[in-house]
Amino acid sequence: MTASIDIEAVLARMVEQLRPALKSDPLMIGIHTGGAWVAERLHRMLGLKEELGTLDISFYRDDFTRVGMNPQVRTSHLPVNVEDRHLILVDDVLHTGRTIRAALNEIFDYGRPAAVMLACLVERGGRELPIEPQVVGEHVKLGKNQHVKLLGPDKLELRIQEGNG
């Protein structure tokens, strides 16, 4: 069974939730790969002036010693100094929270931001760390064998799939 979610509506909801945060002149950062796609859309919809940042958290994963390097590491690109800035960290699916933990570690290796806000397209439960998003596009309840996947980058599409993801 696969089910689809209306991505435009989800993005619109996120934009509404993010608007109040604009007064602190935030810097937006997307996590590779899906998070960067979502961040690109939000960045455009919100009309942010400063260049979008991207993070590849491969170097900060906590399972490196078990699974090794991801062969396709993308370069993290933070165009603006994060020191004392308000950041909006964007990811596609929030699950265990480990990706966000890794992303926060990486961000702090670039500097000390004033605040970090977490925005995710989909929140699916199953947290293993005390990490909660401030902005959520869609909450989904998934069964044991289900997972949610973002397809892109040209046309974003959210799919809930059955299987051992």
Q: Which residues bind another protein (CB under 8 A)?
A: 56, 58-60, 64-69, 71-77, 105-106, 109-111
d(CA 15, CA 46): 7
What is the crossing angle of helices 34-46 and 7-18, to 10°? 60
What are the distances in angstroms from CA 145 to CA 30, 102, 136, 140, 160? 27, 25, 23, 14, 10
At its nearest, how many Å lie between another protein and the CB of residue 106?
8
Amino acid at residue number 101: R
At its nearest, how many Å lie between another protein and the CB of residue 87?
15
At its nearest, how many Å lie between another protein and the CB of residue 71?
6
Of 50 and 132, CB closest to another protein: 50
125 sits in the region (left: phi over 0; alpha: psi -120 to 50; else beta) called left
Of 19 and 64, CB closest to another protein: 64
Of 56 and 138, CB closest to another protein: 56
Of 56 and 123, CB closest to another protein: 56
Strands 86-94 and 53-55, sheet pairing: unpaired
At its nearest, how many Å lie between another protein and the CB of residue 146?
24
Structural tokens at position 138: 């869609």
